[in-house]
Amino acid sequence: MPAREPNQPTLFDLEGRRFVVTGAASGIGRAMAGALLGQGAQVLLVDRDAQALQAVLAGAHAGRVHIGVCDINHTAAFQQLVDGFGAVDGLFANAGISGGPGFGTEAGRELGTLSQQSMAQWHQIMEVNLCGTATCMQAVLPAMKRRRHGRIVVTASVAGVQAEPFVSYAYALAKAAVVRLVQQSALELGPHGITVNAIAPGFIKTGIANGRLHDTDVAGLLVPRIPVGRLGEADDLAGLAVLFASRASAYITGAVIPVDGGYLLNQKEPIAC
Which residues have a catalytic role annotated?
171
Report how far residue 219's alpha carbon sits from residue 127's, in angstroms, rounded to the nearest whole number: 29
Spell out the residues 6+ positions from residue 129 whose beta carbon is closer than 8 angstroms to its own: 96, 97, 171, 174, 175, 178
Which strands make up the sheet holding 65-69, listed edge to edge?
65-69, 42-47, 18-22, 90-93, 150-155, 194-201, 256-259
C-beta of residue 89 within 8 angstroms of C-beta of residue 146: no
Report how far residue 186's alpha carbon sits from residue 254's, in angstroms, rounded to the nearest whole number: 5
Q: Tell me, what DSSP letter sits at residue 129?
A: I
- Phi then psi for residue 135, to 5 deg, are -60, -45
C-beta of residue 146 within 8 angstroms of C-beta of residue 140: no
The H-assigned helical ranges of 126-251 are: 132-147, 169-189, 208-211, 216-222, 238-245
- 3-state secondary structure at position 221: helix
Burial letters 219-240, b for 16+ CB under 10 A, else e: beebeebbeeeebbebebbbeb
